[in-house]
A and B are shown apart, each in its own frame.
Chain A
Amino acid sequence: MVVQNIAFWILAVAMAGAAIGVVRSQNVVHAALYLVVVLAGAAAQYILLAAEFVAWVQVLIYIGAVVILFLFGIMLTRAPMRGDTDLDNDQRWPAAVVSIFLLGVIVTLVVDAFGADEVKINNSLLPVGKTATIGSSIFRNFVLPFEVVSMLLLASLVGAVVIARRD
Chain B
Amino acid sequence: MMNRHSELAQRFWEHGRLSDCPILDFHGHMFSLAGAFLPAESPEEMLKIMDRANSILLCFVSHKAIMAPAVGTAEDIAVVKRYPDRFKAYHSVMSRYLDAEKDLREMEENPDVFVGFKFFADYYRVPLSDSRHDPYWEYADKKGLFALVHTWGGSPYDGLKEAERILEKYHNVIFIAGHSFHGHWEGAVELAKRYPNLYLELTAVLDDRGALDLFVDKLGSERILFGTDLPWFATHHGVGAVMSAYITDEDQRNILYRNGKKLLGRFPWFEDLWKRYGNNAE
Chains A and B are bound partners? no
